[in-house]
Amino acid sequence: MKTIYVNETNYKEIIKNLNSRKEDFLSDIDYTVLKIINDIKEKGDKALLYYTKCFDKAELKELKVKDEEIKEALEIVDDKFISIIEEAKKNIYDYHLKTLQSSWMIFKNDGIMLGQKVTPIERIGIYVPGGKAAYPSTVLMNAVPAKIAGVKSIALASPPDENGKINPYILAAAKICDIDEIYKIGGAQAIAALSYGTESIEPVNKITGPGNIFVARAKALVYGKVDIDMIAGPSEICIIADDSANPKFIAADMLSQAEHDENAASILITTSTKIAAEVIENIKIQKENLSRRNIIEKSIENMCLILISDNLKTSFDICNEIAPEHLEIMVENPFEKLPLVKNAGAVFLGKYSPEPLGDYFAGPNHTLPTSGTAKFSSALNVESFMKKCSIIFYDENNLKKVQDKIAYFAEKEGLDGHANSIKVRFEDGKSN
């Protein structure tokens, strides 16, 4: 944990390395991942079963989860959890439904129609990590917007444990989200199978969901063949606080970020040296009672930063340069600062909007841009599962009026075939 005094002239240098935590292209990992992808492309299910045995230690006969297994899982998961998932699902549904876009059309000059036909992507794959980090919330955050978009066919992939079982909480969440097609596959081999298909798995058009470095690199390498949501880096939080903030809350929220990953970043930007000192103290106290203390301590050592800034405006400038995945604003009148927020995945306003509220429950998506990519990208949303086809109609009269202009433009670009396509329609005065 480092404490640094920052001002508007030195901050860019200080945070420069913060967003270069992602893996580079053409690393050794890429070659391993590329071999796995090629094996799946060539040998299909056989290679898939082989890698599942290698990496997940599971000897499977069938890759697809059976109805009985889903029923079993629903019996294991307690009713309280089911009802919480259902409530969270409703919140996620209500929020995302607001962003569903419609096809539209405009009419011009009594003979021109232009518009967009908005349609769902036909088939998607959701990747859900297994093992120690089995997150049923991932299922909700990916499946709900896809369902709202109207995606017809969803395949969920998650690695099995040594007994060949997928985590029952993941299966329960999948059932609640009406996903019936679930495969016991993980890692780069799962991404390859979803992208290229095998004997038993139909290929998808887009893959979403988080994963370890092998999953992330596999997604980067299949991008183009299929679409992907993003190449996610480690998680991060930025908290902007003035002296009205509660250091206990800040410490707790930084710790909740730190427990994700040794490379997860927790950054406090504050105008108050008093708050800074109290947060450091509170982090020390609170971390003692947390089960993932080992990860937390490494994460704090590596990626925890406390920046003491001159003024609130500079705090926001710094934050916009970091472009954090999560931003908590714990100052007086946090809403009045919203105009200053330019680059962030999600912003949590005030003392009672901690980040875990957004991870599980409030409604907005928890799949957010990391490593500074909030400068140019957004949370997973309904649009992520739709695409837009432009619609163009001109009647004869309207094309005739502009034929010379289009032909002239085309000829200036050296494309007389394009000009010909216009001219041929009118060369006999009025062609059919």
Catalytic, out of 236, 321, 326, 366: 326
Catalytic, out of 325, 328, 355, 366: 325
**Binds a copy of itself by CB under 8 A, chosen from 22, 147, 175, 184:** 22
Q: Closest CB to a copy of itself among 163 and 289?
A: 289
Residue 255 interacting with a copy of itself (CB under 8 A): yes
Q: Closest CB to a copy of itself among 63 and 128?
A: 128
Q: Where are the alpha helices (DSSP H) in 108-178?
A: 136-149, 168-176
**Binds a copy of itself by CB under 8 A, chosen from 39, 236, 242, 253:** 253
For residues 41 and 302, give the distance between their C-alpha atoms in angstroms, rounded to a whole number.
Answer: 39
Q: Quickly list DSSP for 240-277.
A: EE-TTS-HHHHHHHHHHHHTT-TT-EEEEEES-HHHHH
Place of tokens 């040794």: 262
366 is in an annotated binding site: no
For residues 353 and 18, give the distance between their C-alpha atoms in angstroms, rounded to a whole number.
Answer: 25
In a 10 Å sphere around its CB, with 0-12 CB exposed, 13-18 middle and 19+ buried, how is residue 77 labelled? buried
User: Whole-number minimum distance, CB 49 to a copy of itself, in Å?
Assistant: 25
For residues 240 and 336, give the distance between their C-alpha atoms in angstroms, rounded to a whole number.
Answer: 13
394 is in an annotated binding site: no
Contacts within 8 Å (CB) and 24+ apart, 422-429:
425/396, 425/399, 426/400
Within 84-123, the residues that bind a copy of itself by CB under 8 A are 84-85, 87-88, 94-95, 98-99, 104, 106, 112-114, 116-117, 119, 121-122
Place of tokens 């580079």: 24
Within 336-375, the residues that bind a copy of itself by CB under 8 A are 338, 341-365, 368-369, 373-375
* Beta pairing, strands 123-127 & 112-120: unpaired
**Binds a copy of itself by CB under 8 A, chosen from 102, 289, 429, 430:** 289
Tokens (6 digits) for 81: 């959890």
Within 174-233, the residues that bind a copy of itself by CB under 8 A are 205-206, 220-221, 223-224, 226-227, 231
Site string for a copy of itself, 260-279 (x = CB under 8 A): x-------------------
Q: Name the one range near a copy of itself by CB under 8 A: 60-68, 187-195, 300-308, 397-405.
A: 397-405
* Beta pairing, strands 386-394 & 112-120: antiparallel
326 is catalytic: yes
Site string for a copy of itself, 65-84 (x = CB under 8 A): ---------------xx--x
Residue 136 interacting with a copy of itself (CB under 8 A): yes
| Three-state DSSP state, 71 | helix
Q: List, by residue number, the catalytic residues.
A: 325-326
Binding residues for Zn(2+): 257, 260, 359, 418
